Amino acid sequence: MAMSLSLSLQAANDTLFASSVRIGMDVSGFARQFVEPETIFREVSLDVEWKHNYFAVLEAGLLDINVEKETHRYQADGYYIRIGADFNILGRSPEAPNDLVLLAVRYGFSTLGHEAPFIVIPDAYWGDYQTSVEAENYRAHWIEAGIGLKTELWHNIFIGWNLRGRLLLHNTREPEMEPYFIGGFGKAGGNTSLMLHYHIYYRIPFR
């Protein structure tokens, strides 16, 4: 009897698809700020299940870095967006119909302004070298792919993490200074990056 009811619910889930909207916040920025208070990242996300197991996703965030040390000062601020899709590869069970294991693809764009008004590069032989880098703008485009999990902890409240590998497609050529961090992409200096994100989500109950 229980098995038959379970199967019926499964079939209902498969056939009576209703779109859902979920908003989220990346809390890994708070964790990073705990370790490195000078760097602030805030990111929110919006995903819509437009087709069974297919999610359209928009992620947007802010970057703010303000470093003041004895040997250097560095400031950067900017924003970024990522758009793409998730695909759920986890079968929907009656006990946890909203849990997801997701494959993700994204396109990302980031813009920031940064400057280093005071830099001292210590050198044991030549002596300390003092310099500065004037304010300049920087832009980057990239694609990314990853895998992630979302699980419903309580009614419409989800947690999840995802691991993303990123490939830089285009960026500002020969900037006077490479940015310390490209918002939404990760540490600058290479064409690739790997980042882990940890999210909390709320699914807006439409049904």
Partner 1 sequence: MAYHNRSGLAIWKFFLALSGMVFLCWACQDDEICEDITANDLRIGFYLTDQDDTQWTVVDSLRVFSLEQPDTPVYEHLTSVSILELPLNPAANGCAFVIDFYHLTDTLWITYHRETQFISVECGFTMFFELTGVSHTKNHIVSIEETMTYVTNTLDEHLKVFIPDTGNGDEPEPELAGS
Per the DSSP assignment, residues forming a β-bridge with 131 are 119
Query: What distance in Å separates the CA atoms of residue 88 and residue 160, rounded to the nearest whole number?
Result: 13
As a whole number of angstroms, the distance between CA 89 and CA 66 comes to 41
Among 39, 53, 75, 172, binds partner 1 (CB under 8 A): 39
Per-position x/- string for 49-88, each x denoting binding to partner 1 as judged by CB under 8 A, each - no binding: ------------------x-x-xx-x--------------
Residue 184, interface with partner 1 (CB under 8 A)? no
Binding part of the chain for partner 1, among 11-19, 28-36, 47-55, 79-87 by CB under 8 A, reads 28-36
* Whole-number Å distance between alpha carbons of 34 and 31: 5
Name every residue whose Cβ is closer than 8 Å to that of residue 165 and which is 6 or more positions away in sequence. 144, 145, 146, 192, 193, 194
Applying CB under 8 A, which of residues 113, 117, 165, 189 lies at the interface with partner 1? Answer: 189
| CB hemisphere CA count around 175 (13 angstroms) | 22
Q: Minimum Å distance from CB 114 to partner 1? A: 9
7 binding partner 1? (CB under 8 A): no
Q: Is 41 in the site for partner 1 (CB under 8 A)?
A: no
The answer to whether residue 196 forms part of the interface with partner 1 (CB under 8 A) is yes
Instruction: For residue 17, give every residue at least 6 positions away whose Cβ sits within 8 Å of its Cβ, in sequence order, or none.
Output: 51, 52
The whole-angstrom separation of Cα 11 and Cα 19 is 17
Q: Which of 23, 91, 165, 167 binds partner 1 (CB under 8 A)?
A: 91
CA distance 115 to 136: 7
Q: Which residues bind partner 1 (CB under 8 A)?
A: 28, 31-32, 34-36, 38-39, 67, 69, 71-72, 74, 90-91, 93, 95-96, 99, 116, 119-121, 123-126, 129, 131, 133, 149, 151, 153, 159-161, 163, 176-180, 189, 195-196, 198
